[in-house]
């Protein structure tokens, strides 16, 4: 079934994107019509093939770079290049192994929870009238930008190094595609959770009604809040390790680009240097925007869950001290307070605005170290 024009408030809007991710082994297969937790033999074969291609291709591309690019790179270029390669390959391996060989039960429960919440909130079959907010349109634009940036970067390097660039970096760009798709996936899922929290909080806008009906509504809010809390826990289990690697990859990517901008390669081709400068500036902007979107949206989930508590205490003022509704609001506030959601990177650290500031701070610190090392090496 086609869900191209569905709103982000209906999880089925990600159906097409899930299929793309499944082709690359990023997520297990999931059907919104007939969820199936059985792992097929074909999926394991797909995992073996992808892991084998990436492993063999990485070994060959590193050999090519070591042979042909040493004359062009400085020591800091080489170290950051190898570190960047390690992180993107580790990320690709992690999602492929998790998708193709591990039990998909958590992934299925996560999507089943979101589908159930959509039914309760009556968001199923909701359509998006704004074309720019459509998930499929955003995905196609995102992919087109990635392709254009990849083609331009490949063109710049081919002009300087020749077709050996394709041997050195084709597999690298394939693995970068995993990073791009994971950015889009984690952003949209965390945004979906945030939107559902907003809809749950909107249920507090209770018009004048009997106390019995208000209590039923409050208990429904409590049930949905609990389910959203469980969904975030499942999200953390599925994507926790990925978020660690995405954070590390973002820092290394920024350092690599800044190093290319400030530390000249061993080349006399000024036109090549100018084009490479432009390409790296574009990569800096992309990295900053993509990682910021993911982390700010994850932080918004926590903020939205805390707003439920604020609504509880705000509405208590409208009822007398000993009323049953006021007591129910107090119980709901306590329940939600004990289940404030936090999206984490494998339970090592929270993904929020503070983490984003940490990325900027870490990048700045190591960039200063790299600058000092480059200056001392040049003497």
pLDDT higher than threshold 60 for residue 241: yes
Q: Is residue 257 part of a domain?
A: yes
Q: Is residue 170 part of a domain?
A: yes
CA-CA distances (angstroms) from residue 185 to 2, 19, 43, 171? 19, 12, 20, 22
Domain span at 153: 11-378
pLDDT the model gives residue 364? 92
Least confident of 284-288, 316-320, 332-336: 316-320
pTM for this predicted structure: 0.91
pLDDT higher than threshold 60 for residue 2: no
Q: Is residue 363 part of a domain?
A: yes
Q: Is residue 5 part of a domain?
A: no
pLDDT the model gives residue 143? 87
Mean pLDDT score of the chain: 86
Higher pLDDT residue, 15 or 272? 15
Q: Is residue 6 part of a domain?
A: no
184 closest CA partner among 284, 320, 294: 294
Could you give the CA distance from residue 209 to residue 325 in angstroms, rounded to a whole number?
11
Q: Is residue 124 part of a domain?
A: yes
Higher pLDDT residue, 318 or 139? 139
Q: What is the pLDDT of residues 56-79, one digit of tens each?
A: 999 999 888 888 877 778 888 888
Q: Which ranges of 162-210 does DSSP label H, i.e. alpha helix?
A: 164-202
Query: How much of the chain, in percent, has pLDDT values that exceed 70?
Result: 95
**CA dihedral for 101, 105, 108, 110, sign (positive or negative):** negative
Q: Is residue 87 part of a domain?
A: yes
Q: Is residue 219 part of a domain?
A: yes
- Count: domains in the chain: 1
Mean pLDDT across 238-254: 93
């Amino acid at each position: 079934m086609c869900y191209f024009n569905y709103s982000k408030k209906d999880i089925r809007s990600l159906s097409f994107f899930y299929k793309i991710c499944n082709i690359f082994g990023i997520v297990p297969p999931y059907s919104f019509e007939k969820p199936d937790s059985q792992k097929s033999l074909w999926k394991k074969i797909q995992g073996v093939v992808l892991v084998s291609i990436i492993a063999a291709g990485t070994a060959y591309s590193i050999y090519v770079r070591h042979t042909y690019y040493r004359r062009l790179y400085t020591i800091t270029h080489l170290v950051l290049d190898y570190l960047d390669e390690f992180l993107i390959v580790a990320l690709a391996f992690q999602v492929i192994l998790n998708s193709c060989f591990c039990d998909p039960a958590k992934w299925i429960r996560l999507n089943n929870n979101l589908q159930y919440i959509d039914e309760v909130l009556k968001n199923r079959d909701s359509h998006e009238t704004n074309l720019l907010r459509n998930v499929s349109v955003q995905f196609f634009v995102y992919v087109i930008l990635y392709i254009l940036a990849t083609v331009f970067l490949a063109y710049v390097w081919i002009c300087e190094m020749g077709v050996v660039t394709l041997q050195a970096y084709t597999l690298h760009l394939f693995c970068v595609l995993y990073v791009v798709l994971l950015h889009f996936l984690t952003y949209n899922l965390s945004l979906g959770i945030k939107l559902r929290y907003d809809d749950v909080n909107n249920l507090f806008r209770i018009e004048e009604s009997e106390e019995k009906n208000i209590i039923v509504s409050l208990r429904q809010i409590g049930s949905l809040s609990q389910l959203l809390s469980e969904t975030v826990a499942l999200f953390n289990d599925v994507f926790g390790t990925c978020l660690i690697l995405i954070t590390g990859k973002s820092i290394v990517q920024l350092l690599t680009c800044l190093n290319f901008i400030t530390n000249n390669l061993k080349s006399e081709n000024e036109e090549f240097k100018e084009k490479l400068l432009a390409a790296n500036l574009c990569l800096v902007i992309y990295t900053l925007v993509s990682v910021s979107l993911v982390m700010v949206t994850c932080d918004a989930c926590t903020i939205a869950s805390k707003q439920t508590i604020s609504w509880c205490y705000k509405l208590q003022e409208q009822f007398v001290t000993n009323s049953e509704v006021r007591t129910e609001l107090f119980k709901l506030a306590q329940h939600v307070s004990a289940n404030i959601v936090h999206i984490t990177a494998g339970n090592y650290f929270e993904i929020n605005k503070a983490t984003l500031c940490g990325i900027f701070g870490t990048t700045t610190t190591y960039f200063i170290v790299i600058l000092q090392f480059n200056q001392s090496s040049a003497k």
